[in-house]
């Protein structure tokens, strides 16, 4: 873990860091000025979401390091948990 990640984790106690996770699915969709990216990771049931200003190459099959926190959103009256990504690094 590099010193930038350690600094983030020390400053924000709710953040979680995972290393070398395999991406099984990567979907991008246009949301106005942003592209919402959703990742599914091997062995994890919750989606990981982040936004970018530009489309990004597919991460499917790649290994990534992620820094994220748990969040919830209401979809069709159901509360759904997802992971809000603040940092993605491909390996």
**What is the C-alpha end-to-end distance of the chain, expressed in Å?**
13
Write out pLDDT tens, residues 18-35. Answer: 999 999 999 999 999 999
Contact partners, residue 7, CB within 8 Å, separation at least 6: none
More confident residue, 59 or 7: 59
Instruction: Decide if pLDDT at 38 tops 80.
Output: yes
Alpha-helical (H) ranges within the chain are 3-11
For the chain, what is the domain count?
1
* DSSP code, position 13: T
What percent of the chain clears pLDDT 90, i.e. is strictly above it? Answer: 76
Domain of 50 in residue numbering reads as 3-90
Q: What percent of the chain has pLDDT over 70?
A: 99
Rounded to two decimals, the pTM is 0.87
Query: What CATH number corresponds to the domain at position 68?
Result: 2.40.50.140
Backbone angles phi, psi at 71, to 5 degrees: -145, 165
What residues contact residue 60 under an 8 Å CB cut-off, 6+ apart?
23, 24, 25, 26
């Amino acid at each position: 873990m590099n010193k930038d990640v350690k600094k983030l984790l020390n400053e924000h106690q709710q953040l979680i860091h995972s290393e070398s996770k395999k991406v099984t699915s990567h979907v991008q969709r246009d949301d106005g000025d942003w592209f919402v990216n959703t990742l599914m990771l091997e062995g994890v049931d919750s989606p990981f979401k982040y936004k970018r200003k530009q489309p990004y190459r597919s991460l499917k099959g790649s290994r990534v390091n992620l820094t994220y926190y748990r969040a919830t959103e209401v979809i069709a009256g159901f509360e759904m948990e997802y992971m809000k990504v603040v940092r993605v690094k491909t390996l």
